[in-house]
A and B are shown apart, each in its own frame.
Chain A
């Protein structure tokens, strides 16, 4: 769609090693190409190397090896030019609490040669009414929207958002999603990191699932889910002490329409393409083997299921501190 434009971001064989005993390899050979106008998500558990990756792309960290191009330009050769054209919201910046919202945005506006007027930006993130409030008095969601305001005040072609909704309540998250969608629909490129699967699924044109410093899956959320083979999940649990015969994985997989089966903590999950075909067969199977059902749900497959399939664990379970 933008054939003549350079990609917003291109990086090849990115490696970042933190010296120490033992050295930590945060990023181990990561390739990305993000087109202009895309909303792209780096998805992965904490400690997967998302923040390290995004900070290298932002020019705040230097890679141990690998090439990085941002808007067709290279860091160290064209730093000032790149900075004029990108916007960044970091994880955990504490803006000055004694400045007002408007003063903060004006300060950031002054660093850019062109951009929106501070008042316009506040309207864009729905903080007009808070213009004269001190930053210290804002709620978490408002602070996060202010952080986004400082990132977009220079009207960036490329916007980096590191964990923009982490720790926010559902309503604040939806407000931020709305803001990000508007930026995206204005033709700007957005690169965000998140460990929320639903966020990536709703917001991103494409996602890269990152684990242990590598991309383990790349594509549109829809394609990634299709790659599971079935778009639907059937999950069920059985009553305790339900006879001696527990369902056998091979037998479940052999049921008509079942693509894959798995079990975790008593929850049995089936990946299926057509639930209406599978359900009668499944109920019949359980009946025959004397396994009383405790609960049964069907749902659309999610990126979470993709991660579980590829990494063999849930995203929340892989807590490790990000370097």
Chain B
């Protein structure tokens, strides 16, 4: 079985490109991974979109305590279609109030003047709403005249709704999760398989490897982000008020930063359990504090400096500023500088502490 060989070739292959393309191939040949990376964010937006859709005005449930003039009150309130009203015994209506089946119980005092007693829990917003609406309706029925004219206009413009606030938060969360898990798990898995040791045994440059792993993560992130943003635009009409290029820049920077952090988390651990624990530990404060679902301004002042330092806070705040408020990139220099710093520090630290064997 003698084989003749062509002369040596000095053709240069780009190691970083080879690492990236290998990662991409491994990724798309793993259908389960495809679902978690691309299916999951869509499910998330759909779920939250349903939960936070603009709801029609809710009905107000009112019980009237049975008594001589109860029928009269029921009739008055039934004139307004917002009210779902019925008469119940004292005992029944209290039970219904306690179990949240009704918002308000009205009892009629037997005075000559109209006199009503409201029974409700003032800490429950629906009860409070019911109390005011019923009060208003009964006062008018008793002959109250409004002195000022009020006209109403509904506010429901794209940019100002909760979903507009939520989408940049979800984008940030997805970049964080994808970067950390995507890079961290893959890297520790290669360590377990002794593939890192095998690479160390070649002249491969370590920075090529780490940069290749980060770059492949960037590539996987592109469809993920496009899916999320397109879905939000088409289904919920979530618009970008600032420059699209600025948004793309922030997303790329966020992806670099979180894959750098993922690499840092994966620098030492020798088991998948260890790296998962470490990543959850690092991500937990950001899930809670960085304002994914509600503004981080709600936390007390003394933790604000700390919250502002978190990588995810910088990303979400600047994304919101550009997407919702149309802010310029220049105005976001401080979160951007912070993200650049996080990226550089985590990549350098990962390169320094990385365990190959």
- Majority secondary structure of chain B interface residues (helix, strand, loop or mixed): loop
Whether the Cβ atoms of B5 and A103 lie closer than 8 Å is: no
Is A110 among interface residues, defined by CB-CB distance under 8 A?
yes
Whether the Cβ atoms of B201 and A106 lie closer than 8 Å is: no
Known contacts A96-B26, A99-B26, A120-B5; decide if A111 and B202 are in contact (CB<8 Å).
yes
**CB-defined contacts of B17 to chain A, threshold 8 Å:** 110
Whether the Cβ atoms of B193 and A93 lie closer than 8 Å is: yes
Contact of A90 among B1, B11, B29, B197 (CB under 8 A): B197
Q: A-facing mask of B17-46, CB < 8 A → 1, else 0?
A: 111001001100110000000000000000
**How many residues on A have C-beta within 8 angstroms of the other chain's C-beta atoms?**
38
Query: Can you name the residue of chain B whose Cβ is closest to the Cβ of A96?
Result: B26
Whether the Cβ atoms of A111 and B204 lie closer than 8 Å is: yes
For residues 83 through 119 of chain A, which have their beta carbon under 8 Å from a beta carbon of chain B? 83-84, 88, 90, 92-96, 98-99, 103, 106-117
Query: Can you name the residue of chain B whose Cβ is closest to the Cβ of A185?
Result: B2
Which range contains the number of B residues in contact with the other chain? 20 to 34
Is B6 among interface residues, defined by CB-CB distance under 8 A?
yes
**CB-defined contacts of B18 to chain A, threshold 8 Å:** 106-107, 110
Is A305 among interface residues, defined by CB-CB distance under 8 A?
no
Docked CA distance A124–B3 (Å) = 7
Contact of B3 among A83, A84, A94, A123 (CB under 8 A): A123
Whether the Cβ atoms of B13 and A99 lie closer than 8 Å is: no
**CB-defined contacts of B15 to chain A, threshold 8 Å:** 110-111
**CB-defined contacts of A126 to chain B, threshold 8 Å:** 1
Instruction: From A90, A178, A182, name the one whose CB has the most chain B CB atoms within 10 angstroms.
Output: A90
Whether the Cβ atoms of A116 and B9 lie closer than 8 Å is: yes
Whether the Cβ atoms of A84 and B14 lie closer than 8 Å is: no
Q: Which residues of B contact A (CB under 8 A)?
A: 1-3, 5-6, 8-15, 17-19, 22, 25-26, 29-30, 193-195, 197-204, 357
In the A-B complex, the 7 residue pairs with the closest CB atoms: A110-B13, A94-B193, A83-B203, A110-B18, A88-B201, A111-B204, A111-B202
- Name 10 extra pairs, CB < 8 A, besides A96-B22, A99-B22: A59-B201, A60-B201, A84-B203, A90-B201, A96-B195, A113-B12, A113-B203, A116-B9, A150-B198, A154-B203
Q: Which residues of A contact B (CB under 8 A)?
A: 58-60, 80, 83-84, 88, 90, 92-96, 98-99, 103, 106-117, 120, 123-124, 126, 134, 150, 154-155, 178, 182
